[in-house]
């Protein structure tokens, strides 16, 4: 992947932090997190180093799918607050150098949305064709997104006698995005939130959004579905010059290229690297860096304005669908040995620290790699303190337990009775008694302090977002050594996936007598031989970031 620094494309070097308002901080003690509580924690996020806040759905909802079943795209769920509270969050974020993006969930609505209530009331409803209807389901159906929970993507509406399409849950009827009126409505939704100060959107399940539905069924053609994605990007550009579309596109890399828009970079601004994430866990399971290294080198070249979003965990199941069946079995055996730790035959419902049995060496190595991998890092709330999951919460919701602020009642999330909490707090070895923000803020060697160091160093190393990436050859399969070189300089990162110490040979071919390798995560430097090489020791699960500097280097390290 080749890139050259230019312009002020803020997403290239952002630190994205995803949170669910409902589980972050409860300020009125009703058991549900709210915008007022988030406002009280904005300084915490600024201190952490967050530059882009990603808010999971805050819209009115029956909450049968954690807010992704929406009844009003223009509203704020009254349990969380109101529009004034949200505007205050946006203003506060801007004052602290943070941008705010929101989930754009327009594949479907809740079945309680006024559009659908009208649509199912009569075949003559003006909203009938906002959804996709058939007299009979087709013989060959698409697979449901949630195997084991839904057996079909078509559901009979008894009143009208027709079936409606739902690729997700049956209580989430699909919108007919090929309908021009629906597209106009989506533009209005985007425009509304952009006017309130939102800086862009994380676009949910993009391939399903572009999947042909009603037009195909009716024998009509609406042309290339990517034209619609280009129109959304164009609309965003007209309304705000530097807004982003961060897309959830879990497809093979070659297909992902289409969603970037190729050299024109006129579709999604950023995409999550699902392939890289899954190969990372395969490398962890094998103590072998090669699968992850191969995934990074296999990234296709993308345009300057585009970017990969790197992550180790998100709010859904940790999907392993891009691994082979045997590879998936390896990762399951290593990190989800019990059936209740898995979901949909493809994913894991645990957080990283519990998968690694709380081993601080492996946890820190993993996050060091996240922040040194070319692209933009994305954190899920609680990762910075090493939160675990609550397996008492069914399915993929287990990672969405309340944020752990203190060791006090309900982890400092809420003073409400435990029975009123929106979700139960973790109560095992990763409970607030053992893992919380307050304790780690005052502990110099805590994970929170380490994450602050990583974020600060990442933000001072802009070549990670902009530079040219290369894997450096290594004799030890457990070690990943890579370099990133840009206009601002060059860094080398070393990571040991193995449980044995390693000696890592590093060569700087263009070195001269003044060239040094300066440690970025701690004090010190590595001397080079006259040939510009060094043998660098790494402990088990060790990591180092090294700045290549010489007499012409004027930056602070």
Indicate if 385 and 425 belong to the same structural domain: yes
Indicate if 534 and 486 belong to the same structural domain: yes
Considering 439, 459, 479, which residue would you say is the last residue of a domain?
Answer: 459
Mean pLDDT of 116-128: 96
Q: What pLDDT, on a 0 to 100 scale, did the predictor assign at position 158?
A: 92
Q: Is residue 70 part of a domain?
A: yes
pLDDT greater than 90 at residue 1:
no
pLDDT greater than 80 at residue 370:
yes
Least Cα distance to 496 among 468, 516, 477 occurs for 477
Q: pLDDT of 395-443, one tens digit each?
A: 899 999 999 999 999 999 999 999 999 999 999 999 999 999 999 999 9
Indicate if 299 and 355 belong to the same structural domain: yes
Indicate if 391 and 534 belong to the same structural domain: no
Q: What pLDDT, on a 0 to 100 scale, did the predictor assign at position 213?
A: 58
Q: What pLDDT, on a 0 to 100 scale, did the predictor assign at position 393?
A: 95
Could you tell me the CA-to-CA distances from 314 to 98, 118, 501 in Å, in that order?
Answer: 20, 35, 31
Q: What pLDDT, on a 0 to 100 scale, did the predictor assign at position 487?
A: 86
Indicate if 357 and 296 belong to the same structural domain: yes
**Measured distance CA(57)–CA(87) in Å, rounded:** 15
DSSP labels for 302-332? --TT-EEEE-S--SS-EE-TTS-HHHHHHHH
Q: What pLDDT, on a 0 to 100 scale, did the predictor assign at position 4?
A: 37
Counting every residue written for the chain, the total comes to 557
Q: Are 489 and 555 in contact (CB under 8 A)?
A: yes
Tokens 């993006």 sit on residue: 101
Tokens, residue 441: 């803020």
Q: Is residue 64 part of a domain?
A: yes
**Measured distance CA(474)–CA(442) in Å, rounded:** 39
Residues acting as catalytic residues: 204, 248
Indicate if 133 and 269 belong to the same structural domain: no
Enumerate long-range contacts of 177-180, CB under 8 Å, 24 or more apart. Answer: 177/106, 177/107, 177/209, 177/210, 177/213, 177/228, 178/212, 178/213, 178/214, 178/215, 178/220, 178/222, 179/129, 179/130, 179/214
Sheet holding 154-157, edge to edge: 133-134, 162-165, 154-157
Q: How many domains is the chain built from?
A: 3
Indicate if 191 and 267 belong to the same structural domain: yes
The neighbouring-strand residues paired with 545 are 493
Residue 301: exposure state from Cβ atoms within 10 A (0-12, 13-18, ≥19): exposed
Indicate if 126 and 41 belong to the same structural domain: no
Considering 459, 481, 504, which residue would you say is the last residue of a domain?
Answer: 459
pLDDT greater than 60 at residue 6:
no
Using a pLDDT cut of 70, give the percent of the chain over it.
Answer: 95
Q: Is residue 556 part of a domain?
A: no
Whichever domain contains 486, its CATH number is: 2.60.40.1180
Q: Are 462 and 488 in contact (CB under 8 A)?
A: yes
Helices (H), 12-159: 21-24, 35-39, 42-48, 83-95, 114-121
pLDDT class of 222 with cuts at 50, 70, 90: low
Least Cα distance to 518 among 490, 548, 486, 539 occurs for 548
- 340: number of Cβ within 10 Å: 12
Indicate if 224 and 333 belong to the same structural domain: yes
Choose the most confident range, by mean pLDDT, from 84-93, 479-488, 503-512, 520-529.
84-93
Helices (H), 437-528: 437-441, 447-459, 463-466
Mean pLDDT of 307-323: 97
pLDDT class of 162 with cuts at 50, 70, 90: very high
Q: Are 101 and 53 in contact (CB under 8 A)?
A: yes
Q: What pLDDT, on a 0 to 100 scale, did the predictor assign at position 2?
A: 36
Whichever domain contains 127, its CATH number is: 3.90.400.10
Q: Are 374 and 308 in contact (CB under 8 A)?
A: yes
pLDDT greater than 80 at residue 301:
yes
**Measured distance CA(234)–CA(392) in Å, rounded:** 44
**Measured distance CA(277)–CA(313) in Å, rounded:** 9
Q: Is residue 91 part of a domain?
A: yes
Tokens 């675990």 sit on residue: 388
Considering 459, 493, 513, which residue would you say is the last residue of a domain?
Answer: 459
pLDDT greater than 80 at residue 510:
yes
Tokens 């993929």 sit on residue: 396
**Angle (deg, nearest 10), helices 226-239 and 253-260:** 40
Mean pLDDT of 334-352: 96
Mean pLDDT of 215-219: 43
pLDDT greater than 50 at residue 330:
yes
Residue 217: exposure state from Cβ atoms within 10 A (0-12, 13-18, ≥19): middle
pLDDT class of 529 with cuts at 50, 70, 90: very high
Residue 165's region, left for phi above 0, alpha for psi from -120 to 50, else beta, is beta
- 231: number of Cβ within 10 Å: 15
Mean pLDDT of 458-487: 96
End-to-end CA gap in the chain? 25
Q: pLDDT of 195-209, one tens digit each?
A: 999 999 999 999 999
pLDDT greater than 60 at residue 506:
yes
Q: Is residue 214 part of a domain?
A: yes
Q: What pLDDT, on a 0 to 100 scale, did the predictor assign at position 225?
A: 87
Q: What pLDDT, on a 0 to 100 scale, did the predictor assign at position 422?
A: 97
Q: Is residue 494 part of a domain?
A: yes
User: Looking at per-residue confidence, does 3 or 363 come out higher?
Assistant: 363
pLDDT class of 140 with cuts at 50, 70, 90: confident
Least Cα distance to 131 among 158, 108, 114 occurs for 108
Tokens, residue 354: 């519990």
Query: Which of 87-101, 223-237, 416-430, 433-447 has the lowest average pLDDT?
Result: 223-237
Whichever domain contains 24, its CATH number is: 3.20.20.80
Gyration radius of the chain's alpha carbons: 24
Indicate if 123 and 203 belong to the same structural domain: no
Indicate if 42 and 72 belong to the same structural domain: yes
Q: Are 17 and 45 in contact (CB under 8 A)?
A: yes
Q: Is residue 173 part of a domain?
A: no
Q: Is residue 128 part of a domain?
A: yes
Q: What is the mean pLDDT of the chain?
A: 94
**Measured distance CA(532)–CA(527) in Å, rounded:** 9
Indicate if 264 and 409 belong to the same structural domain: yes
Q: Which domain holds residue 39?
A: 10-106+180-459
DSSP labels for 394-460? -GGGGG-PPP---SSGGGGS-SS-GGGSSSPPP-STTSTTTS-HHHHHT-TTSHHHHHHHHHHHHHT
**Angle (deg, nearest 10), helices 447-459 and 360-372:** 20
pLDDT greater than 70 at residue 3:
no
Q: What pLDDT, on a 0 to 100 scale, did the predictor assign at position 554?
A: 56
pLDDT greater than 80 at residue 164:
yes
């Amino acid at each position: 992947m080749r890139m050259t620094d230019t312009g002020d494309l803020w997403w290239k070097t952002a630190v994205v932090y995803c949170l669910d308002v409902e589980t972050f901080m409860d300020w009125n003690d009703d058991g549900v997190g709210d915008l007022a509580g988030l406002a009280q924690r904005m300084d915490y996020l600024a201190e952490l180093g967050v530059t882009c806040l990603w808010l999971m759905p805050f819209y009115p909802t029956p909450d049968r799918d954690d807010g992704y079943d929406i009844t009003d795209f223009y509203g704020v769920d009254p349990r969380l607050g109101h529009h004034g509270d949200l505007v205050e969050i946006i203003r506060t974020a801007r004052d602290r150098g943070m941008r705010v993006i929101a989930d754009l969930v327009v594949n479907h609505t809740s079945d309680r949305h006024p559009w659908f209530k009208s649509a199912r009331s009569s075949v003559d409803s003006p909203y009938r064709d906002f959804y996709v209807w058939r007299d009979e389901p087709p013989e060959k159906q698409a697979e449901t997104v949630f195997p084991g929970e839904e057996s079909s993507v078509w559901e009979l509406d008894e009143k009208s006698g027709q079936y409606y399409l739902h690729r997700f849950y049956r209580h989430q009827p699909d919108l007919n995005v090929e309908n021009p009126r629906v597209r106009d409505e989506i533009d209005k939704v985007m425009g509304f939130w952009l006017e309130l100060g939102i800086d862009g959107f994380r676009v949910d399940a993009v391939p399903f959004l572009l999947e042909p539905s009603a037009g195909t069924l009716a024998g009509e053609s609406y042309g290339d579905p990517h034209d619609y994605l280009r129109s959304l990007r164009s609309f965003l550009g007209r309304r705000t010059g530097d807004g982003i579309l961060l897309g959830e596109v879990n497809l093979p890399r070659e297909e992902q290229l289409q969603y970037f828009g190729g050299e024109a970079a006129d579709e999604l601004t950023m995409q999550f690297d699902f392939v890289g994430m899954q190969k990372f866990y395969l490398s962890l399971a094998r103590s072998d860096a090669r699968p992850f290294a191969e995934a990074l080198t296999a990234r296709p070249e993308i345009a300057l304005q585009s970017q990969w979003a790197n992550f180790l965990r998100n709010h859904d199941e940790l999907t392993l669908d891009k691994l082979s069946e045997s590879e998936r079995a390896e990762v399951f055996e290593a990190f989800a040995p019990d059936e209740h730790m898995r979901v949909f035959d493809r994913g894991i419902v645990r957080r990283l620290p519990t998968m690694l049995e709380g081993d601080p060496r492996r946890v820190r190595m993993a996050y060091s790699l996240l922040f040194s991998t070319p692209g933009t890092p994305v954190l899920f709330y609680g990762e910075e303190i090493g939160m675990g999951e609550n397996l008492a919460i069914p399915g993929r919701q287990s990672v969405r337990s309340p944020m752990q602020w203190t060791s006090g009642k309900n982890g400092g999330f809420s003073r409400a009775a435990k029975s009123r909490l929106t979700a139960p707090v973790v109560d095992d070895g990763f409970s607030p008694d053992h893992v919380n923000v307050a304790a780690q803020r005052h502990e110099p060697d805590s994970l929170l302090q380490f994450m602050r160091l990583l974020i600060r160093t990442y933000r001072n190393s802009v070549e990670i977002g902009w530079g040219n990436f290369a894997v450096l050859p290594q004799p030890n399969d457990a070690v990943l050594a890579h370099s990133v070189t840009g206009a601002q300089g060059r860094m080398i990162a070393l990571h040991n996936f193995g449980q044995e110490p390693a000696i890592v040979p590093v060569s700087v071919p263009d070195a001269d007598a003044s060239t040094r390798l300066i440690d970025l995560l701690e004090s010190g430097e590595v001397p080079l031989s006259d040939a510009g090489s060094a043998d660098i020791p790494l402990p088990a699960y060790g990591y180092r970031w090294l700045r290549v500097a010489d007499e012409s280097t004027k930056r602070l390290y």
